[in-house]
């Protein structure tokens, strides 16, 4: 379905990646389960193979369901073309791998998603690629860390545990001046609230498992590229053997249709909870760039049009037993990995930092504000904080 170039984000979310006229009038693209693709002639097969990433050649390289999801995300985010993969980590691995070889060096923000760090420290190190972690607040100062063999700078704004913002345009300008590519993990803000290509980013990675799917029932990733970077990343993904599952792609497409409505409620609830937590005597500080007094607020306001429902807060010094008592009794907040679904989550935030140690004196917790009533979520938190306090007394 064609869209005008000036279409607004909610219109893109509703219509991008749809083609009902070529699908018997079906509103959302159907699920194609396919491995083998048949061709009527040798010439037709050879023509398709020359365009293997742009046409149907083999199920692993994409089906109409795949292409619909990829086109919808690229249209929303402003990329040239996107690549669907089986998970958020697969998106990060695919986005990095095509640009590096043995002997190369990359720079990675110190507040990156834990599995990103593990991939760099374990897999990349074994293949001879060195990683240096940098202070998320470094901005243009990153130029001092760029070496002759630095091929890539990896950014994440805000970080998924400590929520520092990064000056992405300044980092991109410094990296490009030295010939390095810039990759950004944009899972927190989604393609709706942040347009990384406008900030100078070359490749964007998403855990579509989170807000794009939005229902905690599918594993999915997406890599969005410029025209210049697309084939480099696409070839890397093909060599890694990544292929997003057709049913998960369908759930990703379905989730996109309501992402705008969901994210605005996630944001509204998160802001209400974060503001309430700031006033609590048990809380040392709240980590959410949408708050006016957050250190990253100015960068967030400049570079993003909204905030998601994920944020953190630092407690005053409390024992492990007190924190466990608080969390074990939560009624509405689940404890579990991931986020971005309709349900609220809370869990301790355990992070590894090497470039800039995390200076919190008390435990750090992370909340995902779901779609429940904010008053009910506040009351559940209040009861939890009372258990926390009474355990320490």
Provide the pLDDT for residue 342: 96
Q: What averages of pLDDT result for each successive group of 10 residues across the chain (393 residues)?
A: 74 79 82 91 89 82 93 96 97 97 98 95 97 97 98 96 97 98 98 98 98 97 98 96 96 96 98 98 98 98 98 96 97 94 96 88 96 97 96 74
Provide the pLDDT for residue 371: 97
Structure tokens at 131: 């990683």
Q: How far is CA 296 from CA 141, 267, 341, 352, 361, in A?
A: 17, 17, 25, 20, 20
Cα–Cα dist 373/252, whole Å: 25
Collapse the DSSP code of 157 into the 3-class scheme (helix H, G, I; strand E, B; otherwise coil) and give the result.
Answer: coil
Radius of gyration, CA atoms only, the chain:
22
Residue 220 CB neighbour total at 10 angstroms: 26
Length of the chain: 393
Cα–Cα dist 186/197, whole Å: 11
For 304, residues 6+ apart whose C-beta sits below 8 A from its C-beta are: 189, 193, 194
Q: For tokens 């037993």, name the residue.
A: 321
Please say whether the beta carbons of 136 and 164 come within 8 A. Answer: yes
Cα–Cα dist 379/332, whole Å: 10
232-256 burial string, b = 16+ CB within 10 Å, else e? bbbebbbeeebbbbbebbbbbbbbb
Q: Do 9-255 and 260-392 share a fold?
A: no
- CA torsion angle for 275, 280, 284, 285 (degrees, to 10)? 0
Is 60 a residue of the active site?
yes
Q: Give me the residues paired with residue 221 across strands.
A: 85
Catalytic member of 19, 58, 60, 264: 60
340-360 burial string, b = 16+ CB within 10 Å, else e? bbebbbbbebebebebbeeeb
DSSP H or E segment with residue 152? strand 150-156
Catalytic member of 104, 113, 119, 380: 113
Structure tokens at 388: 């926390």
Output the pTM of the full model. 0.93
Structure tokens at 209: 């498992």
Catalytic member of 195, 210, 257, 262: 210
Cα–Cα dist 106/264, whole Å: 35
Cα–Cα dist 68/55, whole Å: 12
Residue spans of the domains in the chain: they are 9-255, 260-392
**Surface-to-core class of residue 383, CB atoms within 10 Å of its CB (0-12 exposed, 13-18 middle, 19+ buried):** middle
Structure tokens at 356: 């800039």
Catalytic member of 71, 110, 167, 185: 185
Provide the pLDDT for residue 297: 98
Give the closest residue to 363 by CA, choosing from 309, 323, 311, 327. Answer: 323
Provide the pLDDT for residue 55: 78
Give the closest residue to 88 by CA, choosing from 213, 2, 196. Answer: 213
Provide the pLDDT for residue 2: 65
Is 110 a residue of the active site?
no
Fold classified for 9-255: 3.40.640
Provide the pLDDT for residue 386: 97
Please say whether the beta carbons of 129 and 105 come within 8 A. Answer: yes
Level-2 CATH architecture, domain 260-392: Alpha-Beta Complex (3.90)
Provide the pLDDT for residue 24: 74
Is 8 a residue of the active site?
no
User: Alpha carbon 207 to chain centroid distance?
Assistant: 5
Cα–Cα dist 251/364, whole Å: 33
Q: What is the pLDDT of residues 295-334, one digit of tens each?
A: 999 999 999 999 999 999 999 999 999 999 999 999 999 9
Provide the pLDDT for residue 1: 54
User: Alpha carbon 146 to chain centroid distance?
Assistant: 25
């Amino acid at each position: 379905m064609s869209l005008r170039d000036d279409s607004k984000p909610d219109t893109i979310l509703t219509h991008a990646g749809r083609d009902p006229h070529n699908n018997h009038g079906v509103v959302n693209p159907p699920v194609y389960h396919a491995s083998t693709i048949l061709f009527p002639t040798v010439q037709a097969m050879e023509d398709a193979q020359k365009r293997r990433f742009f046409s149907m050649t083999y199920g692993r390289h994409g089906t109409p369901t795949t292409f619909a999801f990829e086109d919808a995300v690229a249209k929303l985010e402003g990329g040239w073309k996107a690549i669907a993969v089986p998970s958020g980590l697969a998106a990060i691995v695919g986005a990095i791998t095509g640009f590096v070889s043995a002997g190369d060096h990359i720079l990675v923000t110190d507040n990156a998603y834990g599995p990103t760090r593990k991939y760099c420290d374990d897999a990349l190190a074994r293949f001879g690629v060195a990683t240096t972690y940098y202070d998320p607040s470094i901005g243009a100062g990153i130029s001092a860390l760029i070496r002759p063999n630095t091929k890539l700078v990896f950014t994440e704004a805000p970080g998924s545990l400590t929520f520092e913002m990064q000056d992405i345009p300044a980092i991109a300008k410094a990296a490009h001046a030295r010939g390095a590519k810039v990759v950004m993990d944009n899972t927190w803000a989604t393609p709706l609230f942040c347009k990384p290509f406008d900030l100078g980013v070359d490749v964007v990675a998403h855990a579509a498992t989170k807000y794009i799917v939005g229902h905690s029932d599918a594993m999915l990733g997406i890599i969005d590229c410029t025209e210049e970077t697309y084939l480099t990343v696409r070839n890397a993904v093909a060599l890694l053997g990544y292929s997003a599952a057709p049913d998960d792609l369908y759930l990703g497409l379905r989730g996109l249709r309501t992402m705008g409505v969901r994210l605005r409620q996630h944001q509204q609830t998160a802001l209400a909870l974060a503001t309430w937590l700031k006033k609590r005597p048990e809380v040392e500080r709240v980590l959410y760039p949408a708050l006016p007094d957050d250190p990253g607020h100015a960068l967030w306001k400049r570079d993003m049009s909204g905030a998601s429902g994920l944020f953190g807060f630092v407690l005053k010094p409390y024992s492990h037993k007190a924190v466990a008592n608080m969390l074990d009794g939560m009624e509405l907040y689940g404890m579990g990995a991931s986020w971005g679904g309709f349900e609220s989550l809370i869990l301790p935030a355990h992070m590894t930092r090497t470039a800039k140690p995390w200076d919190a004196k008390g435990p750090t917790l992370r909340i995902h504000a779901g779609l429940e009533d904010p008053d009910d979520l506040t009351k559940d938190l209040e009861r939890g904080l009372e258990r926390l306090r009474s355990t320490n007394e």
